[in-house]
Amino acid sequence: MNPLGLYAPGTSPLHRAPAGPKLLVLLVVVTLVVVRSDVGWLAGACGLVAVGYAVARPPWARVWQVARLLLVLAVFVGGLQLWLVGPQAAAVTVLSLVAALAAASLFTLTTRIDAVVAAVERGLGPLRRFGVRPERLGLLVGLTVQAVGTLAAIAASVREAAVARGAGRSPTAFAVPFVVRTLRHADELGEALAARGVGDEDADERTG
């Protein structure tokens, strides 16, 4: 399962907040934590995101999944930075990473992808006159989130097959079938999207 994705139903103020403004706040938060290098400020941002989790109250199992991933990343990246650059840079990198990823995860936990797609389509609507197709970009957002889970499932299945054949440590035994199955999935997904009328919007517009 994708630890950073998927909506967890709830009724908190964060769940009820409209997707468009939430997406904008997320973009601002992520931009700020990436450009700022003040440890105190970044620690404050992490605290603010933690308050967000307390308000949203997602299931503990989901919070633990996110926390576990962030912990592994923090130890790995922080250790590397500490060894290569020093404690100040390590603290900045780890806090930035944790704040940004935790905020993004909080967003996906409290926002339906359907709502994000609709918000992207609405937000990009004015760009239609410049040839931008908001519905295509909205769909792209939905498919991107969905693809994380799909690719993880393909990877797990390919890894199992490699282990079953005694090739669990072979990069080739993993990479080749993973690429082939991913391409086949893309092919099938394209057919399924066509069958569900994706791309037919042009014809709808022509016929009114």
Binding site for another protein (CB under 8 A): 1, 5-7, 9, 112-115, 118, 135, 139, 142-143, 145-146, 149-150, 153, 185, 188-189, 191-197, 200-204, 207
Measured from the CB atom, the residue of 96 and 105 that comes closer to another protein is 105
Which tokens belong to 120?
């992207």
Q: How far is the CB of 189 from another protein (least distance, A)?
A: 5
Measured from the CB atom, the residue of 22 and 95 that comes closer to another protein is 22
Measured from the CB atom, the residue of 64 and 76 that comes closer to another protein is 64
Q: Which amino acid is at 25?
A: V
Measured from the CB atom, the residue of 91 and 198 that comes closer to another protein is 198
Cβ(46)–Cβ(98) under 8 Å? yes
Q: How far is the CB of 196 from another protein (least distance, A)?
A: 6
Enumerate long-range contacts of 53-56, CB under 8 Å, 24 or more apart: 53/102, 53/106, 55/12, 55/13, 55/14, 56/10, 56/12, 56/14, 56/15, 56/106, 56/109, 56/110
